[in-house]
Amino acid sequence: MPNLKELSKKPARLTGGHRMCAGCGAPMVVNWVTKALKEGDKAVIANATGCLEVSSFLYPYTAWKDSWIHSAFENAAATISGAEAAYNAMKRKGRIDETYKFIAFGGDGGTYDIGLQSLSGAMERGHDMVYVCYDNGAYMNTGIQRSSATPFGADTTTSPAGKVVPGKQQFRKDLTQIMAAHNLPYVAQTVAPVPGTKYMFDLYNKSEKAIYTKGANFLNVLTPCPRGWRIEAATELDVIKAAVETCWWPLYEVENGKYKLTYKPAEKKPITEWLKLQGRFKHLLKPGNEHLVEKIQAEVDRRWERLLELCGEKEIAKAEVAASNK
């Protein structure tokens, strides 16, 4: 397990002074990902258009200690793939001595939706890079519009909860599974760090693996957005914890095709534990909407059971039962 004291000595590669909202999870995610870079290794970071991008480099002030590039919304993966290609060519010619690592950050808008093609292409080509999606479940930069990562029932500005339609009518796309289907060396789903939990270092550990496993690797990080989720910033880590404990956002990794749960809640909490903390789901918990909550619970259960199968957990459980019966 990494040593928190040691890690806290590492200088932040995204400095303060950026203009993200108070309580935004994205800078925290960036700093934990980049903490996994070895000292001495340089990085080139590409950023899709979005909250992180517009708030971290307003000309002439940049908060980035590493080389950083933003070109457009839908193409962070293609952009970083070009930088990686140039690095390979220049390295081959002996023009560069240092080691560079290539990391792209995009929100769920730039990753699940408008940037999916560019992401898929870069991943399939196998550039030595990591793509990190900080998934906060809507287009927060333009004012909380629904994305394909938005949870069922969430109230957003383009899937508003009205008198007839109770928020978003579709379940979220499972991008982590889509990336796993690319048969990449390393794909993982994780959360912004929650101190005091067993998965506090989950993001750090997965970032280290993703950065230092050769090839195109992908991390999907559930990242809190107090504005979009309609929560107090002080409660956001409780919300992340609820996402994990209800199995709404399971923590797992897929290494060379092999699925592995990296955290299994001792007791799976009901989905209401996740819903009740957030203003965007408030309408779902009103009397008369019980069927919607049941529908969400059924989908969470279905996806969780499938993941347990993929991770071989069902076999493990069977074996444990068999062993205890002996």
Partner 1 sequence: MAKRVSLSGNEAVAQAMRQINPDVVAAFPITPSTEIPQYFSQFVANGQVTTEFVPVESEHSAMSACIGAAAAGGRVMTATSANGLALMWEMLYIAASSRLPITLAAVNRALSGPINIHNDHSDTMGARDSGWIQLYGENAQEAYDNFIMAVKIGEHPDVQLPVMDCFDGFITSHAVENLEMLEDEEVKAFVGENRVAPYALIGQEPVSMGPLDLPPYYFEHKRQQAEAMKNAKRVILEVAAEFEKLTGRKYGLFEEYRMEDAEAAIVILNSSAGTAKAVVDSLRAEGKKVGLIKIRVFRPFPAEELAEALSKVKAVAVMDKADSFSAAGGPVFTEVRSAMYGRADGKIVVSYIYGLGGRDVTTNQIEKVYNDLFSAIETGKYEVYNYVGVRE
User: How far apart are the C-alpha atoms of 103 and 13, rounded to whole Å?
Assistant: 13
278 binds partner 1 (CB under 8 A): no
CA distance 198 to 212: 23
User: Which of residues 62 and 289 has its CB atom nearest to partner 1 in the complex?
Assistant: 62
In this chain, which of 72, 178, 200, 261 binds partner 1, going by CB under 8 A?
A: 72
Query: Which residue in the set 86, 165, 181, 316 belongs to the binding site for partner 1 (CB under 8 A)?
Result: 86
Query: What's phi and psi for 309, nearest 5 deg?
Result: -65, -50
* Residue of 54, 200, 261, 310 interacting with partner 1 (CB under 8 A): 54
User: Sign of dihedral through CA atoms 276, 274, 110, 56?
Assistant: positive
Q: Work out whether 165 is an interface residue with partner 1 (CB under 8 A).
A: no
Dihedral angle sign, alpha carbons of residues 233, 238, 242, 245:
positive
Which residues make Cβ contacts (< 8 Å) with residue 306, sequence separation at least 6? none
| Residue range at the interface with partner 1 (CB under 8 A); choices 85-93, 210-218, 287-295, 300-308 | 85-93
Q: Is 122 in the site for partner 1 (CB under 8 A)?
A: yes
Query: In whole angstroms, how large is the CA radius of gyration of the chain?
Result: 20
Q: Would you count residue 60 as binding partner 1 (CB under 8 A)?
A: yes
141 lies in the binding site for partner 1 (CB under 8 A):
no
Least Å distance, CB 93 to partner 1, is 6
Q: Does 178 bind partner 1 (CB under 8 A)?
A: no
Q: Is the peptide bond before 60 cis (omega within 30 degrees of 0)?
A: yes
CB atoms within 10 A of CB 84: 22
- Cα separation, 178 vs 176, in Å, equals 5
- # of chain residues touching partner 1 (CB under 8 A): 47
CA–CA distance, 13 with 11 (Å, rounded to integer): 6
Of the two residues 132 and 194, which places its CB atom closer to partner 1 in the complex? 132
Phi, psi for 310 (deg, rounded to 5): -60, -35
Closest approach, Cβ 120 to partner 1, in A, equals 7
Smallest distance, Å, CB 5 to partner 1?
27
Nearer to partner 1, 129 or 138 (CB): 129
- Residues forming the site for partner 1 (CB under 8 A): 42, 44, 46, 53-54, 57-60, 62, 64-72, 74-75, 78-90, 92-93, 95-96, 98, 100, 117-118, 120-122, 124-125
